[in-house]
Chain A
Amino acid sequence: MKYLSEYRDPELAQRYLREIEKTVTRPWTIMEVCGGQTHSLVKNGILNLLPPEVNMVHGPGCPVCVTPLNLIDKAVYLAEEKDVILCSYGDMLRVPGSEKSLLEAKANGADIRILYSPLEAVKIAQENPDREVVFFAVGFETTAPANALSVVHAQRLGLDNYAILASHVLVPPAIEALLSDEECLVEGFLAAGHVCTIMGLEEYFPLVDRFGVPIVVTGFEPVDILQGILMVVQQLERGEAKLENQYARMVREGGNPKARETIYEVFDITDRMWRGMDVIPQSGYGVCQAYQKFDAQRKFSVDIPEAPENASCIAGDIMKGLKKPFHCPNFGTHCKPENPLGAPMVSSEGACAAYYHFSDRIHQIEKQSA
C-alpha cells in the first residue's frame, strides 16, 4: 500500500459511479466544502461522470479565496513600508489586494519569499537577526498546528524578530452560516477530511442534528470523493441525516489532540471576515494574549481600513453554492488566472480557476448552466 495511487484506481472509481447511478432517484445538491476536493473533482473529470441528478456545488474551503482583501493589503504594507522579510505560502502571491498583489510588491523590490512550511520562516529569522521576519499565516484548521508550531519554535529559540500575520478560518461556523441562509440549496455535505484530521468529528454532530443534513467526512482522491458522494446520496435517498467518516484511515473520531493543544497554546477563537461572505462570528483564530509579541498586526501597529471588493465578482454566491463560475459575466473574459479579479480565480483550489483550467472536463455543468 502507498495510500495514494490505490485511491486513483479507474476501475474502482467506475464501480462507485455505477453504484451512485443505481442509488440516485431524484436531484440532490451536494457541497464539497474543501477547495482541494473541488480541484480533484474538476481535474479528474468527475463532474462529467456523475449522473445529472447529482449537482455538486463548491464550498468556501479555500483559504486563498476567503482571506480578506484587507489582510492582503496589510501583508503588502508590511513588506513595502516596514521592510520586513515577508514569507508566504506560494498561493497567496497572486491574490489581488485593493491596490496590488504580493507578487507586484515583490516585482517592485519588496523582500517576499515563498515557503513550503512556516518552520522555514523561523529558520530565516534565526539566520537574519538584524531583519524582521513575518509569516503570512493563512489557512483552515489543517494548517493551524503548523503555523502555531512556528510561533512555539520561535519562542523556544528566544527569537524576537519573528511574527505572524494570522488569517485563520474554521469550517464548522462557515457551514452553520451557509445553512442558516434562507437561500441555501445545499442538502448534503462532503466535509473536509484534512480539517477533521486535526479537529475530529465532535463539532459536526450538532450541525447534523440542528439542520438535518447528512455530512460525510471525505478524503481527496477520486475514489474517496466518489465514495463520499455515494454515502451522502444513500443517506439522502433514505431520508437520513447522519455524520459518517469516509476518511477513517486519516481521521480519528477525536482528531489529533496534540495538534489542538498546540493551536490553543497560541491562538484564541475570534470573529473573522470571510472574503466574499462577510463576518462570521467565532469563525477564526487570532494570536492570543500570551503570544502577542508574535502577532504582526500588534507588533507593527498595522491599521489599514477595509477596502471595498470588486463589485462585479460573484465569488460569494459561488462559495455559498448559489451560482457556478460560468454564471459570472467576467469568467474567462475580464477574469482569468493571469489577471484575476477575484480570489477564486487565483488558487487552483478556487472554483473559478479549477473551471477555467479544466473547462474541457466540465461539459455537463456547462450544459446545466446554459
Chain B
Amino acid sequence: MCLAIPGKIKSIESQFDGLVRMAKVSFGGIIKEASLEMVPQAKEEDYVLVHVGVAISVVDEEEAKRTFRYLEEMGEVADELNINDFLPDKEEYSD
C-alpha cells in the first residue's frame, strides 16, 4: 500500500487559478495524473516519486548513483566494478 514509484513529468497544468498544479507523469510509457502540491519545485522532465496520486519527492540524480558506487567506495578493487554497467540508459522501455 505504501507503494510509490518514480515517473517522469511530461507536462504541468494549473487548476483553481494556479492553486493546484497537476502533472502528467510517465511511468515507463504509461501516463497518469499526479498532484504536484507537495513538490512545488518540480518541473517538466524531473523524476518524481508518486504515491496514491500525489508526488511526494523529486529524485536526486547524484544521490541515485551512490548505490552503484557504494561497494567501490568501501574499498573494493575498482576494476571489478565498471559503474557504467549499472547505469544503463539502454531504453528498456520508452517514455
Contact = CB atoms under 8 A, between A and B. Distances in A.
A319 interface: no
Contacts of B5: 4
Contacts of B61: 1, 249
A97 interface: no
Given A15-B81, A149-B37, A194-B4, A248 B66 contact: yes
B67 to A, nearest CB: 6
A117 interface: yes
A204 B59 CA distance: 22
Contact of B2 (A3, A9, A61): A61
Which of A1, A2, A116 has most chain B Cβ within 10 Å? A2
Contact of A120 (B39, B53, B66): B53
Nearest to B92: A5
A349 B1 contact: yes
A142 B51 CA distance: 8
A297 interface: no
Contacts of B88: 5-6
A194 to B, nearest CB: 5
B85 interface: yes
Contacts of A156: 16, 19
Contacts of B74: 19
A249 B59 contact: yes
Contact of B54 (A64, A89, A117): A117
B60 interface: yes
A258 B47 contact: no
B53 A117 contact: yes
B52 interface: yes
B12 interface: no
A2 B53 contact: no
Interface string A1-27: 111111101011001100100000000
B87 interface: yes
A258 B63 CA distance: 21
Given A116-B52, A197-B57, A256 B67 contact: no
Contact of B1 (A16, A149, A227, A347): A347
Interface in B1-54: 1-6, 16, 19-20, 28, 35, 37-40, 47, 49, 51-54
Given A19-B71, A156-B16, A194-B51, A249 B1 contact: no
A116 B27 CA distance: 15
B56 A3 contact: no
A359 interface: no
A213 interface: no
Interface in A178-226: 192, 194-195, 197-198, 220, 223-224
A360 B32 CA distance: 34
A227 B39 CA distance: 27
A256 B53 contact: no
Interface string A237-277: 00000000010111110001011001000000000000000
A304 B42 CA distance: 44
Nearest to B53: A117
A195 B56 CA distance: 10
A119 interface: yes
Nearest to A91: B1
Interface of B: 1-6, 16, 19-20, 28, 35, 37-40, 47, 49, 51-54, 56-57, 59-61, 63-64, 66-68, 70-71, 74, 81, 85-89, 92-93, 95
Given A36-B3, A349-B2, 15 more contacts: A1-B64, A2-B28, A35-B1, A35-B2, A64-B1, A117-B52, A119-B35, A143-B1, A145-B54, A194-B49, A195-B2, A246-B67, A249-B63, A258-B37, A258-B40
4 closest residue pairs by CB, A with B: A117-B53, A249-B64, A248-B63, A146-B54
27 contacts: A2-B28, A3-B6, A34-B2, A35-B1, A35-B2, A36-B1, A36-B3, A64-B1, A138-B1, A142-B56, A146-B52, A146-B54, A149-B54, A153-B20, A194-B56, A197-B4, A197-B56, A198-B56, A224-B67, A248-B63, A250-B49, A250-B57, A251-B57, A252-B57, A256-B38, A256-B56, A258-B37
